[in-house]
Amino acid sequence: MRPPTGRSAHSPDEADVYDNLVDGEFGPNVLLEQERVRFHLVEDVVNVLR
């Protein structure tokens, strides 16, 4: 069985960030590379988006 992918693989907060990335809300061609982004910075952005 394959793990879920795309939006269904995320919590509601993660899905919102995913949608914003896909929709270009953070700018054109912005990618989220988990290993290069400090988690507290991602948390700060998610909290602002709530």
What pTM does this model have?
Answer: 0.49
> DSSP alpha helices (H): ranges in 1-50?
12-23, 39-49
* pLDDT (tens place) for every residue of the chain, 50 residues total: 445 555 667 788 888 888 888 899 989 888 777 666 778 888 898 899 88
DSSP helix/strand/coil, 33: coil
**pLDDT value at position 48?**
92
Tell me, what's the pLDDT at 34?
Answer: 61
Amino acid letter for position 30? V
DSSP state of 24: T
Q: What is the pLDDT of residue 6?
A: 59
